[in-house]
């Protein structure tokens, strides 16, 4: 049974905090947190990502980006990353986490899975597309947990 989920992206200010909030809302008995492989430490959610999240009723106001550490991986039952590259990076640095690291987009693209692109410093439309993918991916995970 999954009691703790860690969502990881690069900077921990766009994708992972929003995806974590989406999962937490639907999985209230589960502890959901986020971190970044190259976190912009202590920064809040990027304004475009925050606006999209808040428009859905998600509260990301208290988020402060944090750097991924081995302890975070050890405490999580499931680690969801945004890309295959991030999955490889984590499992190379922390091989003990290999069995619990999967892409957030694992169930998308007719079951083929897909990466969730980084919208950082891109257009508002790119943020909208990424937000939609995050929501779709979160719903698919929630169905299966």
* 4-9 sheet: strands from edge to edge: 31-36, 4-9, 78-81, 101-103
Q: Is 9 a catalytic residue?
A: yes
Q: Return the number of other C-beta atoms located less than 10 Å from residue 140's C-beta.
A: 16
DSSP code for 67: B
Q: Choosing from 25, 118, 122, 136, which is the catalytic residue?
A: 118
Residue 93 catalytic?
Answer: no
From 10, 15, 50, 103, active-site residue: 15
Active site residue ranges:
9, 15, 118
């Amino acid at each position: 049974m999954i009691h703790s989920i860690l969502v990881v992206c690069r900077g921990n200010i766009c994708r992972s905090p929003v995806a974590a909030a989406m999962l937490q809302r639907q999985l209230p008995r589960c502890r959901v947190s986020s971190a970044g492989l190259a976190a912009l430490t202590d920064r809040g959610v990027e304004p475009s990502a925050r606006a999209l999240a808040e428009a859905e009723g998600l509260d990301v106001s208290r988020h402060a980006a944090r750097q991924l550490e081995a302890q975070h991986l050890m405490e999580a039952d499931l680690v969801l990353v945004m890309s295959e590259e991030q999955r490889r990076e984590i499992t190379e640095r922390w091989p003990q986490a290999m069995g619990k690291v999967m892409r957030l987009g694992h169930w998308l693209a007719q079951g083929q899975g897909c990466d969730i692109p980084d919208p950082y410093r891109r257009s508002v439309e790119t943020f909208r597309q990424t937000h939609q993918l995050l929501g779709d991916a979160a719903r698919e995970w929630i169905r299966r947990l």
